[in-house]
Structure 1
Amino acid sequence: MRPRRALAVLHSASDVPGTLPEVLAELDIQLQTRLVTDPLPPPEELEMVVVMGSPESAYDHRLPWLETELNWLKRLVDAGVPTLGICFGSQLLARALGGSAVAAEEAEIGWTPVTAQATGWRHAGPWLNFHFDTFRLPEHVTLLADTDMAPQAFRHGSAWGVQFHPEITVGMFDIWLSDWRNSEEGRRFLDEAGDLPQRLRDEIALRQPDNYANFRRLMGDFLAAIEAPGKETT
């Protein structure tokens, strides 16, 4: 059954869901958002969940909310709740499925095409990657796509993860910039990045129409897959 309601989990008060509300609205799905520090609903109350990105690391157990979110995701997986993890969300979802999240050997930043690793994957992008961590999948999880630098998409039952940011908008990127300026680590990144942030921002604006259409197709295939779990339509 196709969900009619979805919940997006945000990881800070400044986070926004990008184009996710508009994409889901086109598919007749109403989106609600909730901060990870708020009470998370039990699986039986949920039709679909999207776990959004975060500048934090999905293996940093100093985060006071991480263990609660991880255990909640495990319950969602066990209950078969359709779940999509984006960037940080994909790394934490990989952990919930029995894999791990680790620091990447090298940051992957920029618009990159992804290479299919499963029959039927038709979402080459390019997609915006912006991550310093990555995930490792257990054997029972299907890798759908990757780049030379990192795995990019996976599927297990009604749970999908994507390392890239299909929901990115200029406004969302501007919030990232503001958050970086307000943290020591972020200011250090900006000091070393030169004109990279401005170039990325310009390219997000340029690619927005195509990226939105790509995200719409990706979400359509995610929904088709959870409606027909026995079919490998990716």
Structure 2
Amino acid sequence: MRALVIRHDHVTEAGLVGERLVQRGYELTLLTVVPEERHHTPAVRFDFPDTDGWDLIVSLGAPWSVYDERTVGSWIGGELALLRKAHHHGIPVLGICFGAQALTTALGGSVEAASRPEIGWVDIDTDDPALIPPGPWMQWHYDRCVPPPGAEETARNAVCTQAFRVRNSLGVQFHPEAIPDVVQSWVDCGGAEQCVRLGIDPEELVAYSRAMEPVARENAYRLVDAFLDRVACPD
């Protein structure tokens, strides 16, 4: 089985989600949209592949907004077309943070600024804890999804929809893939300043992320297993 993993920047990794997919028998193909040297000028040209030959598509997070034409306008249309076509052809999509926002946009929903940012480990309210454990989950976002027509919201908190399902695709606003080294990379790549503005100690956030790794791995594996067994292959 082949999984296409869309990595929007050089920092984010498939992490715990990728680990579990490999354990479940998937061969991962990782595509990086914006190279490191263009991180601060991400309006790059990128040609997304067709949907043929993929059994699963995973769209990871990104430090930009889906609706910001100044930064992602050159390539976001190609990704939305890919996700839309995959969904139409029954290829499961797992969208994570920015990836969830791309998924909801591709399927007729929208994305807007959240009432407040969420950075750190957060518990959520879930209607289906076997699919979406209550956490805590790593969060790092400023926007929120408005799920597309026909979507089932499966988890939420006071800030936003935290998970939604559309047929055999799933979008989650949090970061089940996050490993401590990735959190450290986010902090090092401009995230420290964001944390300080919000009154968060970035060093404490990284240290807590390391302490949370066993719980994060268990929750991520449970989510991936349930996604594969119940959402991607509901029959």
TM-score range, shorter chain: 0.7 to 0.9
Q: 1:16 aligns to what SS in structure 2?
A: coil
Q: Which moved more, 1:170-179 or 1:143-152?
A: 170-179
The answer on whether the counterparts of 1:21 and 1:30 sit within 8 Å (CA) in structure 2 is: no
Residue 175 of structure 1 is matched in structure 2 by 185
Q: Provide the aligned C-alpha RMSD in A.
A: 2.0
Please identify, of 66-75 and 208-217, the stretch whose mean Cα deviation from structure 2 is larger. Answer: 66-75
Unmatched runs of 5 consecutive residues or more in structure 2: 34-44
- Count of residues paired in the alignment: 222
TM-score, normalised relative to structure 2: 0.87
Give the residue type in structure 2 aligned to 1:61: E
220-229 vs 125-134, which deviates more?
220-229
1:128 deviation in Å?
1.0
Q: How far off is 1:229 after superposition?
A: 2.5
For each residue in 1:142-182, what CA deviation from the matched residue of structure 2 results, as whole angstroms up to 9, or x when unmatched?
Answer: 001001111100111111000000111111112212221xx
| Change over 3 Å in CA distance of 1:162–1:227 after alignment to 2 | closer
Which residue of 1 is the match for residue 167 of structure 2?
157
Query: How many Å apart are 1:19 and its aligned residue?
Result: 2.2
Partner residue in 2 for 1:30: 27
State TM-score, norm by structure 1: 0.87
Q: Of 103, 108, 125, which aligns to 1:115?
A: 125
Shift of 1:41: 2.1
Q: Distance in 1 between matches of 2:62 and 2:78?
A: 16
Q: Which runs of 5+ in 1 are unaligned?
A: 181-185
Deviation >3 Å, runs of 4+: 117-122
* 1:52 aligned residue: 60
Take 2:130 and 2:215, find their aligned partners in 1: how far apart are those partners? Answer: 20
Give distance in 2, aligned partners of 1:227 and 1:193. 37
1:85 counterpart letter in structure 2: G
Deviates more, 1:88-97 or 1:67-76: 67-76
* Counterpart selection for 1:217 from 199, 208, 222: 222
Shift of 1:40: 2.1
Check conservation: 2:132, 2:155, Cα contact below 8 A: no
2:42 aligned residue = none
- Partner residue of 1:39? 47
* 2:17 corresponds to: 20
Structure 2 residue matching 1:206: 3-state secondary structure = helix
**Percent identity over paired residues:** 32
Does the 8 Å CA contact 1:128/1:166 hold for their aligned counterparts? yes
Q: List aligned pairs for 1:41-80, cutoff 5 A.
A: 41-62=49-70, 63=72, 64-80=74-90
| Matches of 2:231 and 2:115, distance apart in 1 | 33
Superposed CA offset, 1:82-135 (max 9, x none)? 110000000110111110011112111221111123596451111111110001
* Corresponding letter in the other structure for 1:95: T
Cα 1:119–1:191 change in 2 (3 A) is closer
